Structure 1
Amino acid sequence: MLELATGSGLALAAGLNAWIPLLGLGLLSRYTDLVTLPPAWAWLENGWVLVILAVLLSLEMVADKIPVVDSINDVVQTVVRPTAGGIAFGAGATSETTTVTDPATFVESGQWVPVVLGIVLALVAHATKAGARVVANTTTAGTAAPVVSAAEDVGSVGLSVAAVLLPVLVVPVLIALVVAAVLVWRGVRRRRQGRGAAWAEST
């Protein structure tokens, strides 16, 4: 089901950067024929909304590349990114795109379903990103923050584009996310266990 793949790709993109998929959807709908947003989500293509999203994106991109500030930003984004993921999934999965021509059938069971799916996917992607960022900052004393953040931004753009133009590519990304989430979770557990053992030895 291409609607599911499109929504999933946009939600995962929001888990990496909340504003890229929303800004992308709005711009594509306003200035191209690649995306036609349904009435419920047409506000995304409003000029003022696009300006606000662009400003928020600029602030996010700067904050996410500064060591320490990026960790604080991740805490704040724990609420923002899942919310953006819900919006991105809901808007993307119910829009007509070059690959999705009958999105209405996907949401016959309820308008809330895509939004909830987007929130969950974005939260998983965000948690995996935040966990990996902690490990990267710890092992490199924060010097990896700009590079990792830039890679995440590129990934968010790539996922957003793929979700609209070639949603089938989102499937392997979903699989990779599951694998990455498991690896990050194991790494965080090992670090906590190591700290616990060190604390026990010192006392």
Structure 2
Amino acid sequence: MELLSGLGLATSSGLNAYIPLLVLGLLDRFTPVVELGPSFAWLSNGWILGLLAVLLVIELLADKFPAVDSINDAIQTVVRPTSGGIVFGSAATSEIAGLGAGTLTVTDPEAVAGWQTWVPVVTGIVIALVVHLTKALTRPMANTATAGTAAPVLSTGEDIVSAGLSLIAVFLPLVVVLAVIGLVVVAVVVRRRMRRRRDRRLRSGSV
């Protein structure tokens, strides 16, 4: 369950760095659903939640405009994988939805440097980075193919998927694999369609 929750949250981070962090932090602070381990309890701090909310608003706005979204994606190349590492690590060291997570809870300082902590973090970084790169490479193609009109549509869809996947990872981790597979299929279909539209647009422009 920890791995499934971590997979869903890290994938979500690849689309939007701040949504899964806010989901975990808010659920830990205001509900009994999530009990973050000591290494990640700072996520539910009020100041951290406020900062994440501000960064989320900036991200939501910046990602909706052509050209600006590409600059934002370049900046997020560091932020989203970092978020992925944090949420996967927190899923592996916390009690989530009473589903038995927390078997890797770190209470011994010497264990903090052990594989129990760092393997989940590195795994989350890799997952989020792969998702982020797919998103970042698809967006310029879509902007070229649609003269920029696809940016707000794709961005809104990514935000919705990120939020939905974060909640699924917490409440229905067994569904995460199906959700991720569905996301991969949609990404492949969108990339192929955008590539064809871009190629047609470039050919018509050259003529």
TM (norm. structure 1) is 0.85
C-alpha spacing 1:55/1:113, structure 2 compared with 1 (3 Å)? same
Q: How much has 1:27 moved relative to structure 2? A: 0.4
Q: Which consecutive unaligned segments of at least 5 residues does structure 2 have?
A: 107-113, 203-207
The partner residue of 1:132 within 138, 141, 156 is: 138
Post-superposition CA distance 1:68-116 (Å, at most 9, x none): 1001101111111001100011112321112532422598852101101
Given that 1:89 and 1:114 are in contact with CA atoms closer than 8 Å, whether structure 2 keeps it comes out as yes
Q: How much has 1:51 moved relative to structure 2? A: 0.4
Q: How much has 1:8 moved relative to structure 2? A: 0.6
Post-superposition CA distance 1:120-179 (Å, at most 9, x none): 110111111112212211111111111110100000000100000001111023334555
Q: Which consecutive unaligned segments of at least 5 residues does structure 1 have?
A: 199-203
Q: Which residue of 2 aligns with 1:4?
A: 3
C-alpha spacing 1:127/1:180, structure 2 compared with 1 (3 Å)? farther
Give 1:154-165 correspondences, 5 Å limit: 154-165=160-171
Q: Distance in 2 between matches of 1:174 and 1:17?
A: 15
Q: How many residues align?
A: 194
Q: Which residue of 2 aligns with 1:144?
A: 150
TM (norm. structure 2) is 0.83
Residue 9 of structure 1 aligns to a residue whose secondary structure is: helix
C-alpha spacing 1:62/1:171, structure 2 compared with 1 (3 Å)? same
Give 1:39-54 correspondences, 5 Å limit: 39-54=38-53
Q: Distance in 2 between matches of 1:102 and 1:73?
A: 34
Q: Which residue of 2 aligns with 1:66?
A: 65
Q: Distance in 1 between matches of 2:126 and 2:170?
A: 20
C-alpha spacing 1:106/1:5, structure 2 compared with 1 (3 Å)? farther
Q: Which residue of 2 aligns with 1:34?
A: 33
Q: Which residue of 1 aligns with 2:15?
A: 16
RMSD between aligned alpha carbons? 2.7
Q: Distance in 2 between matches of 1:117 and 1:187?
A: 30
Deviates more, 1:104-113 or 1:121-130: 104-113
Residue 40 of structure 1 aligns to a residue whose secondary structure is: coil
Identity of aligned residues (%): 59
Q: Distance in 2 between matches of 1:105 and 1:68?
A: 42
C-alpha spacing 1:171/1:54, structure 2 compared with 1 (3 Å)? same
Given that 2:29 and 2:44 are in contact with CA atoms closer than 8 Å, whether structure 1 keeps it comes out as yes
Q: Which residue of 2 aligns with 1:201?
A: none
Residue type of the alignment partner of 1:128: T
